[in-house]
Chains A and B, each alone.
Chain A
Amino acid sequence: MFQTFIDTLADLAVKSGIAGFFAIDGGWKFAVMILISFVLMYLAIVREFEPLLLLPIAFGMFLANLPVAGLSSYIEGGLIYYLYQGVKMGIYPPLIFLGIGAMTDFGPLIANPKSFLLGAAAQLGIFLTFIGALLLGFTPQEAGSIGIIGGADGPTAIFTTTKLAPHLLPSVAIAAYSYMALVPIIQPPIMKALTTQKERMVVMEQLRPVSKRERLLFPIITTLVVSLLIPDAAVLVGMLMLGNLLKESGVTERLSKTAQNELMNIITIFLGVSVGATSSADRFLSPQTLYIIALGLVAFSFGTAGGVLLGKVMYKLSGGKVNPLIGSAGVSAVPMAARVSQRVGAEYNPANFLLMHAMGPNVAGVIGSAVAAGVLISILG
């Protein structure tokens, strides 16, 4: 009996996760990945960097790298494998867009449609980084997935990557969400370097009121225009606009609230955990991941610069009525990028209130990055 007990303990020890660190080939990599997941958890919990997504992603990474547990998104049969099918089949990102649409006020964009141009200019980083990635030896499909990080839109980055280069999903998703979280740190130096103090102090005119009819027509017209011209972007833009129509119609309050809260939260948990669980040690720990993280920063910086530079052009053309700082909000990270424009503007003129003006390019950036994703998928997919 005693011998059986000893044998059972020995058998458990051999099959345990602790033994896995030493017995499995490259077992130390699991320990490194677990440490990385702890760093991400720290950033999410203590520093509050995009915690709603970063925390599930970090915990998914933690689960996927527990040796022997078999909780990676790629190991068939487990819970996380089935949750991951929503990512793999492109279901979660459009549903997240539904929630974003239900939460977003497109009023500032409707009041000042020229903001669309700033949202377009901020997509510059996507295409410039595409070249950088090609130069580093990535395939065109991989380069497209890496470039889309510059759109600063997590669901769009995930959606594009699942279509073009699914094997890069963990690196692209983590880079995209990390940089979105770091918007307040990355953007201000670029904004200040590209603008003069006089430009930063421009006080913009108050936006006109937007009628309910305009708010109702906007989602329908936008879906029609984008979907007919770029069918690959239809699912993202369509769901974004459906969410917005639920909100603006005023007759589907329950659906709008569900899209904004319960549905959005459920999908966020599923998406975060399953994306995090794709980053198993064997797939994540490679020089390629470092390249992707570096290129993501380049994409993000060029996107910010593109928006600010077009803002400067609009400043000149409007005779000094447009504050170029709102251009940086064209990278879609909603509403963080708009808050950064407001904060930097207020540093130079505390009475200046740029937030609503920056929300226009900010939500235009969401549409712009979805269109850019559609273009990349249609050319490279």
Chain B
Amino acid sequence: MDWNLAGAVILSGLVIVFLILGILICVVAITGRLSGTGKSGKAAPAPAAVKATASVPAAKPAPAVQAGISGETVAVISAAVAALMDEQAPGMNYAVTGIRRKRFSRPVWGFAGMQQNTRPF
């Protein structure tokens, strides 16, 4: 058995695997910090209680809801908007100011189905 070859394979194999994954750790950590979501070296100072209280935004006025739309529908629409905004513009301030029925000649579910079927083209 060639012990030199065996030693070379083991040493270089383990060192290279650790080295490359070590480089990836650094790069991923740097990317995280640059994008503002990674942990910084120092823990962020805890905000003062008074300031935190002061920084709480005032409650937004309730949305103007057209007659005939139930509170449950308002909650569902607000939750859907929140999920969409969280996905597409995280951290952005927004408010649901009104909910009213849209006048539309095509049934809304039919329109949604057509959109889904034609999206790939």
| Residues in chain A near residue B22, CB distance under 8 A | 116-117, 120
Tell yes or no: A221 within 8 A of B by CB: yes
From A128, A130, A375, B17 is in contact (CB under 8 Å) with A375
B29-37, B44-52, B95-103 - interface stretch? B29-37
- Measured CB to CB, the nearest residue on chain A to B36 is A211
A13 located at the interface, meaning its Cβ lies under 8 Å from any Cβ of chain B in the complex:
no
**Contact present for A119 and B21 (CB under 8 Å):** yes
* B8 on interface, CB distance cutoff 8 Å: yes
B1-27 CB contacts (< 8 Å) to partner A: 1-2, 5-6, 8-10, 12-14, 16-25, 27
B-chain residues with CB within 8 Å of residue A316 when the two chains form the complex: none
Is the Cβ of B24 less than 8 Å from the Cβ of A210? no
Residues of B contacting A16 in the complex (Cβ-Cβ under 8 angstroms): none
A326 to chain B, nearest CB (A): 16
Select which of A113, A364, A367 is within 8 A of B29 by beta carbon. Answer: A113
| Contact across chains for B38 and A127 when beta carbons are under 8 A apart | no
A residues near B10, Cβ cutoff 8 Å: 127-128, 130-131
Question: Chain B: interface secondary structure?
Answer: helix
Q: Is A126 an interface residue (CB 8 A)?
A: yes
Known contacts A140-B5, A211-B90, A214-B37: does B31 contact A371 (CB below 8 Å)? Answer: no
Cβ distance A156 to chain B, nearest Cβ, rounded Å: 13
CB distance from A365 to the nearest CB of B (A): 10
Q: Which residues of A are at the interface with B, using a C-beta cutoff of 8 A?
A: 109-110, 113-114, 116-117, 119-120, 123-124, 126-128, 130-131, 134-135, 140, 144, 208-211, 213-214, 217-218, 221-222, 225-226, 229-230, 254, 364, 367-368, 371-372, 375-376, 379-380
Additional A-B contacts beyond A126-B13, A130-B9 (16; CB < 8 A): A113-B24, A113-B29, A116-B24, A120-B21, A127-B14, A128-B10, A130-B10, A131-B6, A131-B10, A134-B2, A140-B9, A211-B36, A211-B90, A213-B35, A221-B24, A375-B12
Taking beta carbons and an 8 Å cutoff, which residues of B are in contact with A? 1-2, 5-6, 8-10, 12-14, 16-25, 27-29, 31-32, 35-39, 90, 120
